[in-house]
Amino acid sequence: MKYQKGQSGNPDGRPKGTYTKVSSKQREFLREFILDNKEKFETEIGKLEGKEFLQLYLSLMQYILPKPATAELKEVPKLEEFIAMTPEERQIAMEEIRESINKEKAKL
């Protein structure tokens, strides 16, 4: 039987959070690549300082932290603002992030 335009053979679709076969293979490839090059990655990161280190750190955080719901979004300092903070202000910002992560982990 032919489907009507805009209809699917599976109206519920793929369950949320599941990956296609291709993306699963890509994730596995990247996982193995990262694990096989862990020491080199750590060495290269160790060479970074200042703004370069912070940019990498903040860009990697998006892959670690769960994405907050729109209602949960707080104003996050931009990289320039973060760099301009005093060490004490940065420490407070990092503690707030850690607390947020721990709360999210507790929900899981």
> 27 pLDDT band (50/70/90 cuts)?
confident
- pLDDT for 39: 92
- pLDDT for 16: 72
* Structural domain boundaries in the chain: 66-108
Looking at the whole model, is its pTM more than 0.75? no
**Average of per-residue pLDDT across 27-32:** 86
pLDDT digits (tens, 9 = 90+) for 62-73: 777 766 655 455
Give CA–CA dist 20/14, Å, rounded: 9
DSSP-derived letter for residue 9 is S
Looking at every residue in the chain, the average pLDDT score rounds to 78
- Identify the residue whose tokens are 């109206």: 11
Inter-helix orientation angle 38-47/21-36, to 10°: 70
- pLDDT for 17: 67
